[in-house]
């Protein structure tokens, strides 16, 4: 099999993990994922840290003595500049695979899954099943025709709800009390394939997106292992239920511009946004800092890290937009006589601090909310 396409991608990385010696080591470590004629060939597609946790589950299961499958290859996003220094780094999935000793020449990193060179190398593996978990690339029809048993996606929502790139974030933004994870066959239409299985999960009003993503993909991994026998023997095709498109909702990709908070909205809406956008892009707000001694007023941008809805009725400062401090929290007046209780904040270029530390740093200066 010719793998120059994959190795060419990795050779551009100035990291020790991709030195020639590391590639030789990874190739020699193929015994960690032994090829066997009686094992089904599974290919995993994923990119971010939550995908790496799914890969970990699959690799562990494939190495079990009674495993019916092997992870024959991995497909992930190309290396990119992810840190502040913009150092080119492999995706979390690629790095995890290498750390596990997975052969480097069986890690595909196409820019697009429609590239002919990639499809040729991928087809040569003769995969029987593909599993996707937050891969991040559109899979063309040519790709979907290659695995004989199809492609199954772990989607962190109760399909057909929240189809799209940001199902967890949009669900939290909507303030849902119940969500879940679905296993569905992949078709050309976005997240619209037949559902093999799903698992529901109740959530409270404090959980944030990164934590919920971890929980849902962990549950999705366990659900996948339960369903793999039926997927491999073909019975999953029979039991899979078509989605009701009339009940479908969308979960479009989040943009940086959405991160701004408007305190003219109700506190519950803002709190749900803080939870939903935690991690990236975060939630930002502008407040006025007033020094009464010098009669100066300046504008300050803060990132709100943790919050909750302020439930005491006497919302102070709502008439003159004053931000107050009570029992360790900033109280910001919001729309419809509600208030947001802010527990943690972050100034640009600074570390996250609790509200008390931020308030003490003001040295007597007052705060007022600003209107967008």
Question: Using CA atoms, how far apart are residues 66 and 362, in angstroms rounded to an integer?
Answer: 63
Q: What is the pLDDT of residue 56?
A: 98
The predicted model gives 326-349 an average pLDDT of 96
Percent of the chain with pLDDT over 90: 83
Question: Using CA atoms, how far apart are residues 347 and 294, in angstroms rounded to an integer?
Answer: 23
pLDDT band at 313 (very low <50, low <70, confident <90, very high): low
pLDDT band at 10 (very low <50, low <70, confident <90, very high): very low
Q: What is the pLDDT of residue 36?
A: 62
pLDDT band at 136 (very low <50, low <70, confident <90, very high): very high
Question: Using CA atoms, how far apart are residues 120 and 338, in angstroms rounded to an integer?
Answer: 59
- State the number of CA atoms in the 13 A half-sphere of 248 facing the CB: 15
Query: Can you say how many angstroms the Cα of residue 106 is from the centroid of all Cα atoms in its chain?
Result: 24
Question: Is the per-residue pLDDT at 181 higher than 50?
Answer: yes
Q: What is the pLDDT of residue 285?
A: 97
Those residues with Cβ within 8 angstroms of residue 23's Cβ, 6 or more apart along the chain or in another chain: 7, 10, 104, 105
The predicted model gives 300-329 an average pLDDT of 85
Question: Using CA atoms, how far apart are residues 215 and 168, in angstroms rounded to an integer?
Answer: 11
Percent of the chain with pLDDT over 70: 87
Residue 133's closest CA among 188, 81, 93?
93
Q: What is the pLDDT of residue 5?
A: 39
Q: What is the pLDDT of residue 259?
A: 97
pLDDT band at 295 (very low <50, low <70, confident <90, very high): confident
pLDDT tens-place string over residues 202-256: 999 999 999 999 999 999 999 999 999 999 999 999 999 999 999 999 999 999 9
Of the listed ranges 219-233, 254-268, 304-318, the one predicted with least confidence: 304-318
Question: Using CA atoms, how far apart are residues 107 and 113, in angstroms rounded to an integer?
Answer: 13
Query: CA angle, corner 96, sides to 93 and 99, nearest 5?
Result: 150
pLDDT tens-place string over residues 29-86: 333 434 466 899 999 999 999 999 999 999 999 999 999 999 999 999 999 876 566 6
The predicted model gives 87-109 an average pLDDT of 96
Burial of 363 (0-12, 13-18, 19+ CB in 10 A): exposed
Note every long-range contact of 7-16, with CB atoms under 8 Å and residues 24 or more positions apart, other chains counting: 7/104, 7/105, 9/78, 9/79, 9/109, 9/110, 10/79, 10/90, 10/104, 10/107, 10/109, 12/79, 12/88, 13/79, 13/88, 13/89, 13/90, 14/87, 14/88, 15/87, 15/88, 15/89, 15/90
């Amino acid at each position: 099999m010719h793998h120059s396409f994959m190795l060419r991608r990795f050779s551009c990385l100035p990291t020790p993990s991709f030195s020639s010696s590391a590639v030789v080591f990874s190739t020699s470590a193929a015994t960690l994922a032994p090829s066997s004629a009686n094992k089904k060939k599974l290919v995993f597609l994923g990119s971010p840290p939550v995908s790496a946790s799914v890969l970990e589950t699959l690799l562990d299961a494939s190495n079990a003595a009674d495993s019916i499958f092997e992870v024959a290859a991995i497909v992930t996003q190309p290396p990119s500049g992810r840190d502040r220094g913009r150092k080119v780094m492999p995706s979390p999935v690629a790095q995890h695979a290498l750390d596990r000793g997975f052969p480097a020449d069986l890690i595909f990193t196409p820019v697009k899954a429609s590239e002919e060179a990639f499809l040729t190398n991928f087809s040569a593996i003769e995969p029987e099943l593909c599993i996707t978990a937050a891969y991040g690339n559109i899979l063309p029809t040519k790709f979907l025709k290659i695995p004989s048993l199809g492609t199954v996606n772990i989607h962190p929502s109760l399909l057909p709800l929240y189809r799209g790139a940001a199902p967890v974030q949009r669900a939290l933004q909507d303030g849902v009390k119940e969500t879940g994870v679905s296993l569905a066959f992949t078709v050309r239409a976005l997240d619209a394939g037949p559902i093999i299985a799903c698992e529901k999960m109740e959530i409270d009003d404090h959980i944030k997106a990164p934590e919920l993503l971890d929980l849902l993909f962990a549950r999705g991994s366990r659900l996948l292992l339960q369903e793999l026998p039926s997927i491999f023997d073909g019975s999953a095709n029979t039991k899979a239920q078509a989605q009701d498109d009339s009940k479908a909702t969308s979960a479009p990709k989040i943009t940086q511009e959405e991160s701004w908070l408007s305190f003219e909205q109700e506190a519950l809406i803002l709190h749900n946004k803080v939870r939903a956008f935690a991690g990236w892009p975060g939630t930002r707000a502008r407040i006025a800092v007033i020094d009464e001694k010098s009669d100066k007023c300046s504008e300050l941008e803060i990132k709100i890290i943790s919050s909750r809805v302020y439930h005491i009725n006497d919302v102070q400062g709502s008439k003159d937009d004053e931000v107050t401090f009570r029992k360790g929290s900033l109280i910001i007046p919001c729309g419809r006589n509600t208030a947001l209780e802010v527990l943690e904040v972050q100034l640009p270029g600074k570390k996250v601090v609790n509200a008390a530390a931020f308030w003490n740093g003001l040295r007597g200066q007052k705060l007022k909310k600003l209107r967008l």
